[in-house]
Structure 1
Amino acid sequence: MEAPLNHANFNLNIGGIVAFLGGEEAISAMESMHFYRYRKWLGWYNSPGAYIIAKHYGRLARSQIWDGIYPGPNDEPAKLLGLDGEHGPPYRGIVSGTILSDTGHVGHVFAQHCENLETNLSQYSLNAAFIKPAQQTTNAVGTKPRHPTKAVNVIVVDLEETTSSEGAEEPGQIPVKLGDTKSPLWPVAIASVPISLNIACCIICGLYEEWFAFGVILYGILCNGIASYFIGSAKIYLKHTIPSQHSPPGNGILEYKSDTLIVCRGSEKVINYVVKGRFIVRYGHEEDKEATRYHQIGFSAMLLTTQAIAQLFLIPISGLFGQIMFLSTLAISWIYNAFLSSIDKERLQQQLLTQYLPFKNNACTGTKVQLPTRTSAVVFALLCGLPDLQGDPQANAECATEIMSNLLPKGTEVWRRWQAEVAKRIRELSSTEHSTSLPPADGPFRFAEYDDKGLKETDKNLLKVLIDDARGGYESYYEFLRPKPNAQSGLGGSPA
């Protein structure tokens, strides 16, 4: 059967560029492959950008041969798959005193998950002084309004130890099954469209005896399918460092951006999943040598390189109809890769992390509370993060002072006095005659009196404002501890 346009004096001559166009989209599409079941089996289409894909993933192969063909540093698989490389928020241990300036990729994903939680207004935010005049009720009449400041969110997350380590190859690992997302048949149905259209174009080329185009399309389908399978056949673990059995509680605060404090509560071991954890990607069998484990990746990269060379030489000598069919497969595959690239992989990583982190009571979430000022937020975070408010009063006061010094200004006399007053109240709250559930009207945070002697009038006014913030932080903490949610703020929690 004679092919259409067989006598046309026109040649698309696209073989020299198709190996480079669409490579970034194809790489981005492969990065989302591990989050869907069966996706490693769904790469049977002629993807554009074969040479770019080969150069990118060829760096995984570790041997003198592969390093010669694909020069450059042998990047870690987690980085090439988009599971590493981000910087996480700084962390400060409340009891241990640990300070980490960067909690890494896992800390970044965890902070993003916490930021997306639903916000609850704190008890202090519902104070009449912070309600806009149009929203104030008759009870707010006569209340002197506060100068508006930037609200700060405090997220409280409880983690607990788990003994489950099934499938782990070494201590401190949790095996991660990236394909355990919902609706596994949905990506299969979507992928069937480009796969079927690519195969149809290949068959049509055969029917019209466009054998060069037929061979290049078929080879491209096989190369991309094999590469997808090998790259997708990875074992992935969530790994963390194992602390000493005698380590203090790991309760600490992540400072995310300028308006979010994340209070992590739990043992040092489980907190390390967040602040010192990272994703580990392994190929092949553990008993194999490192170079041997990556031979399949090198082989698939070589197939993609030969695909690019075949396109360069064979497509220009194919008939015009064959060239159109070949270009059609690339267009279809590019649209599909662009669709996969548009998937929010950060959101998928958040779902993955929350699925495997040992949340207390399998809550898979936390409580997000908004406070109207940073000082009140720091006090609230401190009270939530101290592991034992019935413990050593002096130790609790020292921990509180250290955290306040890191999270708030400390260079003026006003701030030094305020921090001393808050530390004093925490010391009193931790003493045996007081309870962590003591109502604000009866507890030490009522601030019946405080030291403002020797200060200028402006400094006295500032200290009073800061004292009100500390009182508001404790009021919000008291509401947070209540077993039933508050009707207005929707808060509820449990002591650390």
Structure 2
Amino acid sequence: MPPIPLQHSDFTLDASGVAGFFGGDEAISAMATVHMYESRKWLGWYNSPGSYTVAKRYGQLANSRFWDGLFPGGNVSPAVMFELDNMKGPTYHGLHSGAVIPQTGHLAHLFVSECKAMEANYRTEGRITRPAGVTIAELSHVPPLELGPKLSLPVSSALLSAIPIAVSWGTCIVCGVFRDWWCCSMILLGIVSSGLSCFVIGSGKCTFSRPSVASAAPDGDGLLVTDNDIVVLKGREEVIDAIIMGKFSIQYSDDSEPHPERRNIGLCSLLLTVQFLAQLLLIPQGTLFGQIMFLTSLAFSWGYNSWLSSLDKAKLQRDMLIEKVLNKPPMKKYELGTRTAMVVFVILALGKQLEEPRKLLESLLPNDTKVWKRWKDTVLERLKMGGEICFQKDEWDVEGYSESERNLLKTLYEDAEAAWRTHRKRSQIAG
């Protein structure tokens, strides 16, 4: 039997005071990806730090008076806790139904965020105050009423998870070899509690769902409108509803019951609490070498959790929506120099699909001064006539307007001309 390293040292490394708290935020953030990847729930078998913080957070998913007493803080839905249903989307304008939804949901927010992140296929020439984007999405794939989208786990991620797993098991075995059973058992307890928690919490099924649509529903073309971006949605009502009224949720095995208790999650959170208390009491009983092994396993696990936390979870959700739900619809983005040009371009892009262009123009540009009223009347008249949009000096150099009003009118006409040139370029690209 070899001598235990550092066994004659008088120094005691009391790591137990931080073991349950250190790295808790990273562990919680890392767990947020467990429902998005296939097989991710099997990769939690390492001595993860922050057991007490994780237990307090996810214990709130358990739903009964007993669990509420152990883990106070109110019950929230799993989708909200894992940030799958916590964002508000932009305003929606239905082009055929006339419906206006002032605030859409999480999936509309994801879709608009994806459009904002896209590179523009064409950038307009002309005046630029604050660049405004117009994305035209051709939505042809109708998703089912319910779907379980999951991303494939990258090989690099699976290989990286082997590092904390190997280190945790290795340090546990080394402590056993040198008969430091206190630290050996505490590392093993951390591995078991973390692995079981990851498996149980990750066993929830991430589900996409959308409302059913009446057979007589009108076409679903519409607009998602933000301050500086407009997304044109072209497709059937079922696809549009998937974006503006669909949602992601997480379903556990007992969620079909009237009052799901989610007892398994409560038991895992209780185990994590027991782990914290056991480490608090028993790690100081181990040798200095065993305590170093314990901290080593925590350090590698914290590093892995930090890497998982750094992943762009919103981007992963957008990938699930775009790739798995909507089947990668073709989208093209155009960048205009001003909001005025953006609105005119949208009306031009919609063409005959837009039955009442004035109504949309007034909605998106509510300015009602005499300059704006004249500009709107003139632009709508040109749109009705079709053909090239081009204005002459006598159309802004008019009687009854001050110099500043004439300059504004000229500038607005130039924006409309820039929008028409972008529309012509779009037609050439499409052709």
TM normalised by structure 2 equals 0.91
1:300 deviation in Å? 1.2
Q: Look up the match of 2:424.
A: 478
Q: Report the CA distance between 1:365 and its aligned residue.
A: 4.2
SS class of match (1:17): helix
Deviation string, structure 1 residues 435-465 (Cα, Å, up to 9, x no partner):
xxxx52xxxx456896986531533443233
Give the whole-Å Cα distance in 2 for the aligned partners of 1:380 and 1:95.
19
Aligned to 2:214, the other structure's residue is in SS state coil
Match status 1:332 vs 2:297: no
Instruction: Verify: 1:180 aligned to 2:114, yes or no.
Output: no
Residues 379-390 of structure 1 mapped to structure 2, 5 A cutoff: 379-385=344-350, 388=353
CA distance in 2, matches of 1:259, 1:451: 27
Counterpart of 2:62 in structure 1: which amino acid? Answer: A
1:3 Cα deviation from its structure 2 partner:
2.0
Q: Within 5 Å, give how 1:230-309 maps onto structure 2.
A: 230-256=200-226, 258-284=227-253, 287-292=256-261, 294-309=262-277
- Structure with greater proportional helix content: 2
Q: Does residue 399 of structure 2 align to residue 465 of structure 1?
A: no
Partner AA of 1:411 in structure 2:
D
Structure 2: where are the runs of 5+ without partners?
none
Give the deviation of 1:55 after TM superposition: 0.8
* Alignment equivalent of 1:350, drawn from 318, 328, 345: 318
The residue correspondences of 1:288-437 to structure 2 (distance < 5 A) are 288-292=257-261, 294-358=262-326, 362-385=327-350, 388=353, 396=355, 399-429=356-386
Secondary structure in 2 matching 1:263: strand
Q: Is the 8 A contact 1:379 1:470 kept in 2?
A: yes
**Change beyond 3 A, Cα 1:454–1:369:** same
Match of 2:137 in 1: 157
Spell out the pairing of 1:51-200 with structure 2 (5 A cutoff).
51-122=52-123, 125-126=124-125, 130=126, 148-160=128-140, 162=142, 165=144, 172-173=145-146, 175-181=147-153, 183=154, 185-200=155-170
Aligned 8 A contact 2:205 2:250 in 1: yes
Deviations 1:400-436 (A, max 9, x none): 222222322422011112222333344445xxxxxxx
Q: CA deviation at 1:243?
A: 4.0
Deviations 1:208-229 (A, max 9, x none): 1111111111011011001111
Secondary structure in 2 matching 1:315: helix
Contact between 1:58 and 1:66, CA under 8 Å: does it hold in 2? yes
Measure how far apart 1:286 and its partner are: 5.8
Cα distance change, pair 465–252 in 1 and its aligned pair in 2 (3 A): same
State whether residues 48 and 330 of structure 1, in contact with CA within 8 Å, keep that contact through their aligned partners in structure 2. yes
Moved more, 5-14 or 343-352: 5-14
Distance (whole Å) between structure 1 residues aligned to residue 397 and residue 207 of structure 2: 55
Q: How far apart, in 2, do the equivalents of 1:452 and 1:276 lie?
A: 48
- The answer to whether the Cα contact below 8 Å between 1:94 and 1:386 also exists between their aligned partners in 2 is no
Per the TM alignment, residue 244 of structure 1 is displaced from its structure 2 partner at its CA by 3.5
TM-score by length of 1: 0.80
Aligned letter for 1:156? I
The match for 1:393 is none
Greater mean alpha carbon deviation, residues 269-278 or residues 246-255: 246-255
User: Contact 2:141/2:329 (CA < 8 Å) preserved in 1?
Assistant: no
Which residue number in structure 2 is paired with residue 223 of structure 1?
193
Deviations 1:316-375 (A, max 9, x none): 1222221111111111111111111111212211211111343xxx55341111122221
Shift of 1:285: 5.2
1:456 to 383, 387, 401: 401
Aligned residues: CA RMSD: 2.4
> What letter matches 2:150 in structure 1?
L
Give the counterpart letter for 1:412 in structure 2: T
Determine helix, strand or coil for the equivalent of 2:26.
Answer: helix
Letter of the 1:81 counterpart: F
Residue pair 1:94, 1:385 contacting (<8 A) in 2 also: no
Aligned AA (1:232): G
- The one-letter amino acid of 1:373's match is T
Q: Is the 8 A contact 1:237 1:279 kept in 2?
A: yes
Secondary structure of the corresponding residue to residue 65 of structure 1: helix
Further displaced range: 87-96 or 40-49: 87-96
Q: Determine the C-alpha separation between the residues in 2 that align with 1:462 and 1:324.
A: 72
In the aligned structure 1, how far is the partner of 2:97 from the partner of 2:374? 25
Is this contact kept in 1: 2:148–2:206, CA < 8 A?
yes
Partners of 1:38 and 1:179 within 8 A in 2: no
